[in-house]
Amino acid sequence: MDGRDDFFSDFMVLRPDKGGVRSLLHLLCSCKVADNDAVDCPVGTEVAEWWRRWAIFVSLVAQMLLLWMKRPMAALGRGIEYWMNLLTDNGGGVLGLIRNALQGKVRTPDRKSPNYRSFIGLIDTRIELDKKIKVGDTNYHAALSIMAAKLAYENELIIKSVVENHWQMTFLEFFNCWNEFRGDYTTQAFMLADKPADAELAVIAFRGTQPFDAEQWCTDVDFSWYEIPGVGKVHGGFMKALGLQKNTGWPPEATTDQTPPAGEGSEAPRRFAYYAVRDRLRAFLEANPRATFVVTGHSLGGALAVLFPGVLALHGEDALLSRLRGVYTFGQPRVGDAALGRFMARRLDAPATGRRRYFRFVYCNDVVPRVPYDDAALLFRHFGRCLYFDSLYRARAAAEEPNKNYFSPLFVVPKYANAAWELVRGLLIGRVAGPEYAEGWVMRAARAVGLLLPGLPPHSPQDYVNATRLGAASLEQLLRDDQ
């Protein structure tokens, strides 16, 4: 179908745009999923197990609801971001805004300015690197990676300003990339270098799921998969976001016309993330023969970060992979099955030394690393070693995070008790750990929401930044063991 049979040995692609009551009922009542309008798979495919069809049903319903809410969610997000920026620009609170209004000095936010922050950036306003963690320290790349992953949520002007003016590094490029399946620019990333000439390190940071972007949430809950021969089953939503081609899968070079249609001259070129980032990385490494590179991302960005070297391996890009320093992901969801894990493990451990190059960070009860579920219905598996932090920011290594599918009855009471502790901790942490850790009213409100939905507030980048800083001693020991 659409040429995919030539590249993938098997696939199941969910089509919420074609879903309706009839297709949903058919999915629950019939094992013949190939006959379902909302499921794209090889002819004759059947799913006999009802519980597997139920998982597909849930994914389709979630995507259909998100697409239905796409515009109101985006409008709500724009409104909240504008209001928060308005408060920030006028003293940081309602009283400051009222005072400026009475004096006729209200500062109006400009969405295109280098001062207009994202919702994520306003929850955690820290932009400086931790001065206590130096270049050459075992945990330096982890600390730099989480800050780059958090910065990836901002617009290009803010990213460039922070990289050059605060981090004293070199901004290389911002990528705004096309998703052929979604028909939109859903994937963003940026690249920096540690210095302008004779660089020794590049960092590629993929943007994660933005709280009010329904398209990106669809990617997270899309349980579609493709099976690549010799690789394994890979999460379809993440591959689409990374630059999967509709008709040809993963060709060595992008084959789809990337020129905007006639009449859309002001639209950005339709570049695909994997190809755009790879080509820029290759040019950088050729110009800087001593340089290595790190790939990072938070949430959805973490999934793209770990799949990026996977596609490099698929294309036989051994020269690029030999200069991979590490992949650091934070709150990353599962991206494929056990076969994919075995394929990636052989590529992500340094071939000459056996040194680990993949570091998957999970903070406490964060729900996102625990989806899609690791069960017989979905077959998704994490791979690599988990660096798990509890709510005191103490690190330990594990094959899998506790409560791996989140909904275990044994963890219900501890989850809610921990959410209450995190709310209290948020009120005190600025006094105990220092003012840079103080939580603002937005994060405190999020902690209160955690009393109902305890897995959501821990997904914030704020806790991952705290983990690399307040948990630096225990993290450094774990990373030193991997050298």
Token look-up 């349980």 returns 223
Q: Let me know if 395 is exposed, middle or buried by CB neighbors in 10 A (0-12, 13-18, 19+).
A: buried
Q: Which two tokens stand for residue 372?
A: 């899609």
CA atoms lying within 13 Å on the CB side of residue 260: 11
18: three-class secondary structure by DSSP: helix
What's the CA gap between 352 and 343, in Å, rounded? Answer: 17
Q: Which two tokens stand for residue 466?
A: 């705290």
Distances (CA, A) of 432 to 126, 243, 277, 393: 17, 45, 41, 14
**Residue 356 — φ and ψ, nearest 5°?**
-65, 140
Residues in the chain, overall count: 483
Distances (CA, A) of 99 to 80, 86, 108, 157, 413: 21, 13, 14, 29, 45
Question: Identity (one letter) of the amino acid at 34?
Answer: A
Give the closest residue to 303 by CA, choosing from 276, 274, 265: 274
Q: Let me know if 400 is exposed, middle or buried by CB neighbors in 10 A (0-12, 13-18, 19+).
A: middle
Interstrand relation of 10-14 and 39-40 (parallel, antiparallel or unpaired): antiparallel
Give the closest residue to 334 by CA, choosing from 294, 384, 293: 384
Q: Order of strands across the sheet with 358-363?
A: 170-179, 184-193, 201-206, 292-298, 324-330, 358-363, 386-389, 395-398
Distances (CA, A) of 169 to 191, 342, 445: 11, 36, 34
Spatial CB neighbours of 283, under 8 Å, sequence gap ≥ 6: none
Spatial CB neighbours of 271, under 8 Å, sequence gap ≥ 6: 175, 176, 177, 178, 254, 258
Which residues are known catalytic residues? Answer: 299, 366, 459
Distances (CA, A) of 170 to 141, 198, 251, 269, 295: 16, 12, 31, 24, 16
